[in-house]
Amino acid sequence: MEILQVIRPDGEYDSKLEPNLRVEDLRRMYRFMLLVRRFDERMMLLQRQGRIGFFIDSTGQEAAQIGTASAFTSNDWVYVSYRDAGVCLVKGVPLKGLVDQLMANADDPNKGRQMGTHWGYRDQNVVSISSPVASRLPQAVGTAYAAKFKKDNVVTLTSFGDGATSQGEFHAAMNFAGVYKLPVVFLCENNQYAISTPVRRQTASANIAMKAEAYGFEGVLVDGNDVLACYKAAKAAIDKARSGGGPTLVEAVTYRMSGHSSSDDPNKYRSPEEVELWKTRDPITRFRAYLIKKGLLTEQEDTSLRQDVEDELVSTIKASEKVPKPTPNSMFTGVYAEMPWHIKEEADELMREKS
């Protein structure tokens, strides 16, 4: 299979393949990429300082996430991965919403009940993450099935790692989506590892995209470190889904530059040479080179954009840290429309003990 690439690692590009995007869209995408990279660095530091409990970053995968998400509209549904802070931001989740989640404070829409990075934002159609690997895929297909049934003109995105493709849920979801021609985009962010398991231990296939063929729909292989290629592949998949053409599996070939999470040491299972090689394919360096080559960004503008991102992060962290923790009795709310008697008893007992 050919891999779709618009921008080469040195910033040179194929003008015949460039998607039709406005300058402000390109700049917006670049800013999101800078923001999520600094967000990752900052959050990892906060975790090391004990100011948040746990963190999973996406460094190296910014193009796959920002490029793909930029092709969706605000009405579309997304079932993201814990590694997809960038998708949440593009979907319109405020930066503070992400930091509040990690701080598990009272402003977190999930009231601090989820594990850190297990995003969920109802207002932006970002469905709360369930942790078992690949469990989101059948859920996303269910949403796409409902959309088709109700004739809602929405497309559902679900993103997952290469490791998820070894789970039964991946195959069940792909099969159902294929049979019912559902408006769903499967995004496999193939970052080469599932914690310490390399992708060659996940599959004997030449790639993951080709698996779509077995389920009767198209699979597309894309350079996951090329933001324009990711946008272009997603846009084509979304347009097809919206016009009744059914699902697409997009495999974005990328690399997880850091460890699996704040609890992992990747030096135990991969070589420094491998990491160095992927650094030369950095998605942000590549997009920056492209924008400069096209005259859409100057060195000075880049510097001030980075400062702007830094300022936004600093003020957001300060604001989130001021928010108190959720009150203990908030754990009894938000699940049942009418509280069952036994939960009410427990809530009353807690209130008595606290008073």
Ligand X SMILES: Cc1ncc(C[n+]2csc(CCOP(=O)(O)OP(=O)(O)O)c2C)c(N)n1
Beta carbon of residue 330, minimum distance to ligand X (angstroms, whole number): 26
**Binding flag, residue 132, ligand X (CB under 6 A):** yes
Q: Which one of 60, 86, 97, 161 is in contact with ligand X (CB under 6 A)?
A: 161
Q: Which one of 44, 95, 133, 241 is in contact with ligand X (CB under 6 A)?
A: 133
**Binding flag, residue 194, ligand X (CB under 6 A):** yes
Q: What backbone torsions phi and psi does residue 147 show, to the nearest 5 degrees?
A: -60, -45
- Which residues are catalytic, by number? 256, 260, 269
Give the interface size with ligand X as a residue count (CB under 6 A): 16
Q: Nearest Cα to 131, choosing from 164, 103, 94? A: 164
Q: Nearest Cα to 113, choosing from 350, 346, 340, 328? A: 328
Residues 144, 157: Cα–Cα separation, whole Å = 9
**Binding flag, residue 191, ligand X (CB under 6 A):** yes
Q: Which one of 76, 162, 226, 282 is in contact with ligand X (CB under 6 A)?
A: 162
Nearer to ligand X, 203 or 285 (CB): 203
Q: Nearest Cα to 71, choosing from 214, 237, 188? A: 237
Residues 220, 230: Cα–Cα separation, whole Å = 10
Nearer to ligand X, 193 or 231 (CB): 193
Part in contact with ligand X (CB under 6 A); list of ranges 28-36, 190-198, 290-298, 317-325:
190-198
**Binding flag, residue 81, ligand X (CB under 6 A):** yes
Q: Which one of 157, 164, 182, 257 is in contact with ligand X (CB under 6 A)?
A: 164
Part in contact with ligand X (CB under 6 A); list of ranges 97-105, 154-162, 273-281, 335-343:
154-162
Q: What is the distance between the terminal CA atoms of the chain, rounded to a whole angstrom?
A: 66
Nearer to ligand X, 131 or 298 (CB): 131
Residue 239 makes CB contacts below 8 A (sequence gap 6+) with none
Part in contact with ligand X (CB under 6 A); list of ranges 11-19, 120-128, 160-168, 320-328:
160-168
Q: What backbone torsions phi and psi does residue 123 show, to the nearest 5 degrees?
A: -65, -25
Three-class secondary structure of residue 185 per DSSP:
strand
**Binding flag, residue 83, ligand X (CB under 6 A):** yes
Part in contact with ligand X (CB under 6 A); list of ranges 91-99, 109-117, 155-163, 343-351:
155-163
Residues 114, 80 contacting (CB under 8 angstroms) = no
Count of Cβ atoms closer than 10 Å to residue 332 Cβ: 16
**Binding flag, residue 131, ligand X (CB under 6 A):** yes
Residues 88, 123 contacting (CB under 8 angstroms) = no
Beta carbon of residue 195, minimum distance to ligand X (angstroms, whole number): 5
Residues 51, 209: Cα–Cα separation, whole Å = 40
Binding mask 219-258 for ligand X (x = CB under 6 A): -------------------------------------x--
Part in contact with ligand X (CB under 6 A); list of ranges 117-125, 162-170, 172-180, 262-270:
162-170
Structure tokens at 200: 């060659």
Residue bearing tokens 């080709």: 210
Residues 116, 44: Cα–Cα separation, whole Å = 12
Q: Nearest Cα to 248, choosing from 313, 120, 159? A: 159
Where on the chain is the footprint of ligand X (CB under 6 A)?
81, 83, 131-133, 160-164, 191, 193-195, 256, 260
